Amino acid sequence: MGKQSYTNWEVIAVDDCGPEDGTKKIVESFASEHPEHRVEFIRHEENGGVSKARNTAIHAAKGEFLAFLDPDDFWGCSYLASHVKALHSDPSISVSYTDARCIDEEGKVNGHVWGRNGRERFSLSGSLYQRNLINPSTAMARRRSVLSCDGFDESPEIQHVEDWDLWLRMLDEGMHFAYTPLAESFYRQHPVAATADDLSMRKRERALRRKHVDLPARNTVKLLMAMERRMDQIEGRQQAYEGSVFYRLGRLLSKLVCKFRSGS
């Protein structure tokens, strides 16, 4: 996670029944190098998915704040200090977040940024509905705020959009988010990562939107989700129509009429 200027931290590493690749020894070595800190390794006996792994760490944590760090991602040295300062400065803030600078498999910055664009700076609710602009490795949240929303959804269809789902539920509960630019975070991009599978991610995003349309929302997110579902229905009917015999026949007749009028 990089050497941090903020020193009051603990690490909870959760192995979700992954292959025996030496992770436990790495964590134990890290713990021996930092005897003044609590470093705990937890291994699931069965694979439960990313949400279950996150929830296990949340319940094992002792601190007031939660900072999520996925494998291969890392933070700048002032990451924790910047987020802690933001959360301490305003008790109404539930989540402090920043942008992620993207790096390639070799750790080189590639110029891409996972975060807000110009228009998204003005409406987090509307922007976050459109897409997940908060990478979990860029956010620090109050533990009590996350627990009050029952943590991450462990449903299989929500996996890999579980962070997006949590942000939307927190927003719907009226919780406040603060952008903290000085908290530097780096996100490693892999071509075979789960989020790189466009078709699979699209299915998960649809499952997330269906879930939020059915929730008793108290802000604009439900309306936006309902609008998206309506657009999906219209798009589906349009695609079905364009694939029908009647549509293809109509296209053929239209071409024949055009040729007839042109005299060709």
Q: What DSSP element (H or E) covers 207?
A: helix 198-214
pLDDT of residue 135 exceeding 80: yes
Phi and psi at 14, nearest 5°, equal -115, 120
The mean pLDDT value for 63-83 works out to 95
β-strands 100-103, 185-188: how paired? parallel
Q: What is the mean pLDDT of residues 145-152?
A: 97
pLDDT (mean) for 41-65 = 96
Task: Note the pLDDT tens digit of each residue in 183-216.
Answer: 999 998 876 554 556 778 888 988 888 888 776 6
pLDDT at 241: 46
Q: Which two tokens stand for residue 249?
A: 């026949």
Type of residue at 207: A
pLDDT for the residue numbered 47: 94
pTM for the model stands at 0.79
Q: Mean pLDDT of all residues in the chain? A: 84
Q: Which residue has the higher pLDDT, 221 or 114?
A: 114
